[in-house]
Amino acid sequence: MNKRVAIYRKEHFNAAHRLFNPAWDNQQNEKVFGKCALPNYHGHNYDLVVKVTGEPDPETGYVMDMKDLSDIIKREVVERFDHKNLNLDTVEFKNLNPTAENIAVVIYTILRPFIDPAKDLQIRLYETARNFVEYPA
Amino acid sequence: MNKRVAIYRKEHFNAAHRLFNPAWDNQQNEKVFGKCALPNYHGHNYDLVVKVTGEPDPETGYVMDMKDLSDIIKREVVERFDHKNLNLDTVEFKNLNPTAENIAVVIYTILRPFIDPAKDLQIRLYETARNFVEYPA
Amino acid sequence: MNKRVAIYRKEHFNAAHRLFNPAWDNQQNEKVFGKCALPNYHGHNYDLVVKVTGEPDPETGYVMDMKDLSDIIKREVVERFDHKNLNLDTVEFKNLNPTAENIAVVIYTILRPFIDPAKDLQIRLYETARNFVEYPA
Amino acid sequence: MNKRVAIYRKEHFNAAHRLFNPAWDNQQNEKVFGKCALPNYHGHNYDLVVKVTGEPDPETGYVMDMKDLSDIIKREVVERFDHKNLNLDTVEFKNLNPTAENIAVVIYTILRPFIDPAKDLQIRLYETARNFVEYPA
Amino acid sequence: MNKRVAIYRKEHFNAAHRLFNPAWDNQQNEKVFGKCALPNYHGHNYDLVVKVTGEPDPETGYVMDMKDLSDIIKREVVERFDHKNLNLDTVEFKNLNPTAENIAVVIYTILRPFIDPAKDLQIRLYETARNFVEYPA
Amino acid sequence: MNKRVAIYRKEHFNAAHRLFNPAWDNQQNEKVFGKCALPNYHGHNYDLVVKVTGEPDPETGYVMDMKDLSDIIKREVVERFDHKNLNLDTVEFKNLNPTAENIAVVIYTILRPFIDPAKDLQIRLYETARNFVEYPA
């Protein structure tokens, strides 16, 4: 039988962004991204759920210490993005459009080295309560 | 590595229904479906979460424009079922028992032609906060 | 200092209804109530929050036993309205339009005799997560 | 007996802002407002709950048509602030620090003329799920 | 016009407790408190919402700095009760039955000296999502 | 095409526990589990979501009657753990550390014999709104 358990930890950060492809002019950006491309930015309360899957350690009963997972997320992701302008203040989105999809992939790439390679990692990111994404799918 | 991302969009509608198999008499329906079979209907606030999975477009960073997805769900599903009696007012449930399972399959069938065939589609439907279903599983 | 404490208990029921003033013809009802007046009913998951305010009993530390309050709400309100059609199946709304406002007043009137007269009673009723009412205000 | 009922309608908008008193220099702003004063803005999903209190109309059973209330909020508040930078894009916060407290007072002032003067109006604004304000208190 | 604004800050803690009046024997405690009196304790995730009401400072636009409020709640309440057994580990409930009502009054008494006396303070405590209390009422 | 549908039912229970490996001394337990190892226990409101996956019965439209599923969960899990001390009052955790991971596996093992073997079973357990687990993963 499958012995693997998934654990989930939820954190959040607040950030400003605009959707903008630097290879396009303003007109093309507004046509494709609508009000999400408005030049002075808007923002979101991002809810971030990180899933780690593996076999629980028989001595602790933990897949991973949730406190350690929370600390890693706060140090590597929340500190980096919270109260920031994703387009202006971060190296990750200088040349990458900060859609929810791209933010999720970036967060996965940031966190992957800090999680035991024997375990799987998945990111769910809520841009609003009604719009959210998951990576890898 | 897997490059696929899932996007989710949440919408809702309010409808009346009763659980009723037209091939059975009232007594058999009440025996199987209990108060859900009461003849004058009851109702729910249905929360609908639509998941679309695929590779993000490198130019937009979108798996699919969430606004387009929202518009499709509103036009094809919400307009059809919102403030309706599922048993009496819809062709889909004239001869099909409107259980949450069947409603989810029907919504999948309605939406599938409007979503890029290269992408996967999944429906989650909340009948209440404590009862919900997913299709395909 | 004010020694009064409020306690809240949340219950829920699912019901069908339509908004309809029997003194008006169908045309006038549809003009005023829009799709809420559609003849075959729609429905909601009603969340009901009952607030009772008074001084805690010094021996128990309770304003009122939450279990007793829950039992009263279930017996007097949930049993009466759950899985019912408010317009057709209840005496309370035979001649009263089942708007959220009126349902809240009716629930207050039903519960008031079962609550200690020395304590205050208030009803909050969620028709949806975005539409709710409170009585008395 | 009190015949007044309160109705509540919830809407939302997403906006960027920074906390900044233009009468102070950057150093003083950062000392008082911390990371909320960072120059390139951050943002929030604002949830807005509007409460209107009055006696229900005996013919409709409505304190106010929730659809009308929703339309007014969307036209006067959401259209004005959604996907905007409150500091840069709005006249209201050109010279007023966009704290949750000030935003709530501004929204009250915007909506008050559109609500029946015989009825009371109150604004609750969620900046995050853990920080929210109410006006008038 | 009323210039007062209320601000709310939500925090949480997890604790064990049992309902028990030390002046009664076990039989009487079980009769009154049912399974809440079971001798080996049970527990809750307590959600705590603290409301402070006053006039915003014209320079900051704050009724009170939410970060300061959060820090006070964490230092004075969360540190004291989180991951504790309320009956065994705290001086406050050595001789006081830890009902939600009494916990709310105790938290009010703890926090009152740390809040500007010109401002009002109110505590809302969720014992579960369906049982909660407020003090002062 | 895949004909399988998943149904989900949510229940809850409140319990006390401490994290403790009986093979270790107190010092080692405190080093690994921090405040979760405090000797007098703390507690949680556990939210439990049970997922059953299979093909809907063509006559009822049900994968499984949600009422039956709810009754099984209440009888086998909630009655066993609600208002209990997991470490002291249950045979399951006498020698097993009651981490969320282990509780989820135990609940799966308890429920599996009561669910049709042709259907899949999965457990999601929320220890808090921010910490949750899933088994099998």
Give the ipTM: 0.95
Question: What is the mean pLDDT of the segment spanning A76-87?
Answer: 98
User: Cα separations (Å) of F54 from B89, B107, D129, E127, F118?
Assistant: 29, 18, 37, 36, 7
Q: What is the bridge-based pairing of β-strands E42-54 and B131-135?
A: unpaired
Choosing from E36, E76, E101, E134, which is the catalytic residue? E36
Comparing CA positions, the residue from F19, A135, C115 lying closest to residue B3 is A135
Over the stretch E20-66, which tens digit does the pLDDT of each residue have? 998 999 999 999 999 999 999 999 999 999 999 999 999 999 999 99
Per-residue pLDDT band at D2 (split at 50, 70, 90): low
What CA–CA distance (Å, rounded) separates C105 from A20? 51
Q: Is A10 on the interface with F (CB under 8 A)?
A: yes
What value does the mean pLDDT of chain E take? Answer: 96
Chain C nearest-CA distance from D27, in A, is: 41
Q: In the structure, do chain A and chain E come into contact, i.e. share 3 or more CB pairs under 8 Å? A: no
Cβ of F41 within 8 Å of Cβ of E14? The answer is: no
Give the pair of three-digit tokens for residue B41. Answer: 């209907």
Cβ of A6 within 8 Å of Cβ of F134? The answer is: yes
A30 is catalytic: no
Comparing CA positions, the residue from E24, A88, F61 lying closest to residue B33 is F61
CB C90 within 8 A of CB C77: no
Specify the length of chain B in residues.
137
Q: What is the bridge-based pairing of β-strands D5-17 and D84-85?
A: parallel
Question: What is the mean pLDDT of the segment spanning D103-117?
Answer: 98
What are the E-state strand segments in B58-119? 84-85
Element (H, E) at B134: strand B131-135
- In the three-class reduction of DSSP (H, G, I as helix; E, B as strand; rest coil), residue F35 is classed as helix
Per-residue pLDDT band at C22 (split at 50, 70, 90): confident
DSSP string, C53-112: EEPPPTTT--SS-HHHHHHHHIIIIIHHHTTEEHHHH-STTSSS---HHHHHHHHHHHHG
Q: Is B7 on the interface with C (CB under 8 A)?
A: no
Give the pair of three-digit tokens for residue B113. Answer: 């032609």
D12 neighbourhood in chain C, CB within 8 Å: none
DSSP-derived secondary structure letter, A87: H
Give pLDDT, residue B31: 96
Give pLDDT, residue B22: 87
Q: Residue F22: pLDDT above 90?
A: no
What CA–CA distance (Å, rounded) separates B97 from F62? 9
CB D13 within 8 A of CB A45: no
- In the three-class reduction of DSSP (H, G, I as helix; E, B as strand; rest coil), residue A49 is classed as strand
F83: left (phi over 0), alpha (psi -120 to 50) or beta: left
Q: Is A96 on the interface with B (CB under 8 A)?
A: yes
Give pLDDT, residue A1: 46
Cβ of C129 within 8 Å of Cβ of B17? The answer is: no
Q: Is A28 on the interface with D (CB under 8 A)?
A: no
What CA–CA distance (Å, rounded) separates A42 from A20? 12
- In the three-class reduction of DSSP (H, G, I as helix; E, B as strand; rest coil), residue A105 is classed as helix
E101 neighbourhood in chain C, CB within 8 Å: 5, 7, 56, 61-63
Give pLDDT, residue D22: 87
D134 neighbourhood in chain E, CB within 8 Å: 5-6, 8
Q: Is D132 on the interface with E (CB under 8 A)?
A: yes
Comparing CA positions, the residue from D63, C75, F59 lying closest to residue B24 is F59
Q: Residue A2: pLDDT above 90?
A: no
What value does the mean pLDDT of chain C take? Answer: 96
Of A7, A11, A59, the CB nearest to F101: A7
Give the pair of three-digit tokens for residue F133. Answer: 């687990």
Give all chains having 3 or more CB-to-CB distances under 8 Å with chain D. Answer: A, C, E
Question: What is the mean pLDDT of the segment spanning F106-116?
Answer: 98
Per-residue pLDDT band at E1 (split at 50, 70, 90): very low
Over the stretch C32-54, which tens digit does the pLDDT of each residue have? 999 999 999 999 999 999 999 99
Radius of gyration, alpha carbons of chain E: 17
Catalytic residues of C: 36, 83, 127
Per-residue pLDDT band at C2 (split at 50, 70, 90): low
* Maximal CA-CA distance, chain F: 59
CA angle C69-C11-B12, nearest 5°?
Answer: 170
Cβ of C136 within 8 Å of Cβ of D5? The answer is: yes
Per-residue pLDDT band at C1 (split at 50, 70, 90): very low
For chain B, which ranges sit under pLDDT 70?
1-2
A10 neighbourhood in chain F, CB within 8 Å: 129-131
Superfamily for the F5-135 domain? 6-pyruvoyl tetrahydropterin synthase/QueD (3.30.479.10)
Q: Rounded to the nearest 5°, which phi and psi values hold at A77? A: -110, -55
- pLDDT above 90 coverage of chain D, percent: 97
C136 neighbourhood in chain D, CB within 8 Å: 1-5
Give pLDDT, residue E22: 87
D61: left (phi over 0), alpha (psi -120 to 50) or beta: left
Q: Rounded to the nearest 5°, which phi and psi values hold at A51? A: -110, 130
Give the pair of three-digit tokens for residue A125. Answer: 């990111």
Q: Is C133 on the interface with D (CB under 8 A)?
A: yes
CB E11 within 8 A of CB E75: no
CB D37 within 8 A of CB D79: no
- pLDDT above 90 coverage of chain A, percent: 96
Cβ of F84 within 8 Å of Cβ of E36? The answer is: no
Q: Rounded to the nearest 5°, which phi and psi values hold at F93? A: -115, 20
Cis peptide before A136 (omega within 30 of 0): yes
CB environment C58-71: b (16+ within 10 A), e (fewer): eebbbbbbbeebbe
Give the pair of three-digit tokens for residue E8. Answer: 């709310």
Radius of gyration, alpha carbons of chain A: 17
CB A12 within 8 A of CB A45: yes
Chain F nearest-CA distance from A2, in A, is: 6
Of B7, B59, B67, the CB nearest to A21: B59
Comparing CA positions, the residue from F134, F120, F137 lying closest to residue A4 is F137
Best of C17, C74, C83, C93 to mutate (most B CBs within 10 Å, chain B): C83
Chain E nearest-CA distance from D80, in A, is: 21
DSSP string, C109-126: HHHGGGS-TTSEEEEEEE
User: Cα separations (Å) of B31 from A59, B28, F68?
Assistant: 50, 5, 13
Give the residue on E whose Cα is nearest the Cα of C63: E101
| Dihedral (CA of F74, F79, F82, F83) sign | positive
Q: Is D88 on the interface with C (CB under 8 A)?
A: no
Comparing CA positions, the residue from F95, B66, B71 lying closest to residue A61 is F95
Cβ of C5 within 8 Å of Cβ of E132? The answer is: no
Name every residue whose Cβ is closer than 8 Å to that of residue C84 and which is 6 or more positions away in sequence. Answer: B38, B40, B42, C15, C16, C90
Model-level pTM?
Answer: 0.96
Chain A nearest-CA distance from F59, in A, is: 32
A55 is catalytic: no
Chain D nearest-CA distance from A64, in A, is: 27
Choosing from F11, F36, F92, F134, which is the catalytic residue? F36
CB A132 within 8 A of CB A101: no
Per the listing, tokens 């009825």 go with D119
Q: Is A21 on the interface with B (CB under 8 A)?
A: yes
Best of F33, F44, F101, F135 to mutate (most A CBs within 10 Å, chain A): F101
Q: Where are the domains of chain E?
A: 5-135
